[in-house]
Structure 1
């Protein structure tokens, strides 16, 4: 029976991944549903291109049209159009060069030896971008598919043009992709993770005990927070690109934030990530340095309270971006959420003032501790100022 379990383990593993993804695609909007829609659109584009060029017109190289149609149902409308133009230019260059050399030399083998290096070099041309490799593909279609004629080469270019038109049209007209949800989800993930880390550190320090704290785990999570912010930045770039040339995007645009609002949100979350990694690094260093360097329970609990209030301010900042009181986008604060955030930041600043005034008396004979906590307070003040300004 053991061999049966070993044999079925990969199947169970794949099923455990596929079934939840299918369930999410069926039940709610998300990345899984977007992938299903894009795959269906690519299949539809290929079917339409083949129905016209292969079935109706019975072209000799009909597969070129559905092939081009599939690859041009891209992740954004702008990318479909830009890559479509570049790909057609590359295919046309490869086809024309291969046809001219093959007709001139009247030898396919010699023509291939001369043409392929040339078109591969042409494919590196900056204006062809990532589609430059299709120059070699176009040349191979000419040189490996029977006698070379001008009419056959022109037909291949026409088939490629038709496939590109079908692919771009399907992507533009049928639920063109918009990645606003991905950008907002990435920003929300970063803000939520920052709040959870700060709350976890605050809860750990609140007891005044430094032994057995998971300081390494906290710091690893804080370092990953920076990567979450980078992912949010990338997702925002995708969402902006998905609006270019997108008719669906024009209907959505009134609910979109401007570049400045997104930049403000990323700036705050960048500093939150930097501040959080600094806090967890210092806490880890204190915990690992021995009892002599550790602050007393009263100071530790005061700093835990400061971290808890920082976490609350970050949570409220996230609500102003994504919660029910938000105006639907970064920077679009509702009155209630914005007022609550301002109160939380004011309370945080008062806590920092009290902590700063009490710190010298708590560690009077330890200049290194004063420097360490002074730097943390400077970071915290800057964070509070950013939250207040936004």
Structure 2
């Protein structure tokens, strides 16, 4: 029954996530719409490449152009250009080597046995990057495509180049991806999740609901928070890259690229994630051991719950201050300073109350001492920032 209950809760949580994602995609621009747009652009690039190379020009190897075009519509314009050049170079290397060997040896099986290891090694060349594998693809197109001629091989290279040009042009000229919105959203999501976790733990401690399953759910959410922060870090990198050679990046409505402010915020949220996981781990381990003496008495649980609520509020205000879409929010900044002051006062009150409350209880002292250490680190980072 317990396993069934956990499964039902997990399914409900995942279902709620799906519903929320669909609602966001329908209601406003975001990552979901960006993914749909990129998929449509890749299909359009392939269609244009085939329409020109296959239908209009009736090129002998017309399939190469749409195939290259569809994979060149990458997540950023810069990556499309860089990978397009690397891919065409890799295909050219594989095609030239396979053509020369096939014409010299006049035996497909022997040629394939000698050429494939060679082009796979050439594909490891650093300048080809992740596109080096296409050297082997280019060689296979030559060796499995019928009679080998210099003209046919040159046509393959030309069609690959044309497909790359189409892919880059479509990605750059039609709604080029800019991920600044995703960066802010990722940071905001991480801050919101941290706030909700701390509020949930505070409610549980204040109401005495500190069972192992509930504490385990808190800890699982805290671990997922760390992954959210990692995703926010990746989003910052994507944002910087998406601004390079992007014709929309210099438009008046384009946002400023992420700088030190986002990097500092990422460091703070990383710290919050680590110590939120520490708090939930301590609560979970104590509850899981079923040691009644080590569980928090109301005299200590209440002030610690108050501290967690103030911490959650400070994180919310921090998010509103740093990630406001309309710039710096002075009122939120003032509230943040006040919240941090209150956070310090509640922490001092908890610290003064702790020694007398657990003087004769070593197990409780270990639990509360660990929670207090996590509280100090969490509050210290917010105060420092």
Distance 1:146 1:17, change over 3 A: farther
1:134 and 2:134 correspond: yes
1:123 and 1:213, CA in 2 relative to 1: closer, same or farther beyond 3 A?
Answer: closer
- 2:372 is aligned to 377
Evaluate the alpha carbon distance shift between residue 382 and residue 25 of structure 1 in structure 2; reply closer, same or farther with a 3 A threshold: closer
Q: Please tell me whether the aligned partners of residues 208 and 298 of structure 1 are also in contact (alpha carbons under 8 angstroms).
A: no
Query: For each residue in 1:25-48, what CA deviation from the matched residue of structure 2 results, as whole angstroms up to 9, or x when unmatched?
Result: 554312332122112211221222
Q: Which residue of 2 aligns with 1:151?
A: 151
- Relative to 1, partners in 2 of residues 1:161 and 1:366: Cα closer, same or farther, differing over 3 Å? same
> Which runs of structure 1 show a deviation greater than 6 angstroms over 4 or more consecutive aligned residues?
16-23
- Does 1:234 find its partner at 2:234? yes
Q: Deviation of residue 317 (structure 1)?
A: 1.3
> How many aligned positions are there?
369
* Structure 1 equivalent of residue 307 of structure 2: 306
Per-residue Cα deviation, 1:219-274 (whole angstroms, up to 9, x for no partner)? 22222221221222222222222222212223379733543222211111111112
Asked if 2 retains the 8 angstrom alpha-carbon contact of 1:84 and 1:164, the reply is yes
Q: Give the deviation of 1:296 after TM superposition.
A: 2.7
**Separation in structure 2 between the aligned mates of residue 361 and residue 245 of structure 1, nearest angstrom:** 64
Q: Distance in 1 between matches of 2:26 and 2:210?
A: 48
User: For the aligned residues, what is the CA RMSD?
Assistant: 2.7
Kept after mapping to 2: 8 A contact 1:25/1:36: no
CA distance in 1, matches of 2:95, 2:126: 19
Q: 1:74 to 1:216 in 2, by over 3 A?
A: same
Q: 1:179 to 1:47 in 2, by over 3 A?
A: same
| Aligned partners of 1:191 and 1:314 also within 8 Å | yes
Q: 1:320: which partner in 2? A: 321
Structure 1, gaps ≥5 residues long? 1-15, 328-332
TM-score, length basis structure 2: 0.87
Match of 2:298 in 1: 297
Structure 2: unaligned runs, 5 residues or longer: 1-15
Residue 114 (structure 1) aligns with:
114
Q: Which residue in the other structure is 1:44 paired with?
A: 44
Q: Distance in 2 between matches of 1:244 and 1:126?
A: 22
User: Is the alpha carbon distance of 1:375 and 1:251 closer, same or farther for their aligned partners in structure 2, counting shifts above 3 Å?
Assistant: farther
Maintained 8 Å contact 2:72/2:167? yes
**Which residue of structure 1 lines up, in the alignment, with residue 343 of structure 2?**
348
Query: 1:182 and 1:90, CA in 2 relative to 1: closer, same or farther beyond 3 A?
Result: same
- Go from structure 1 to structure 2 and tell me whether the alpha carbon gap of 1:184 and 1:169 turns closer, same or farther (over 3 Å shift): same
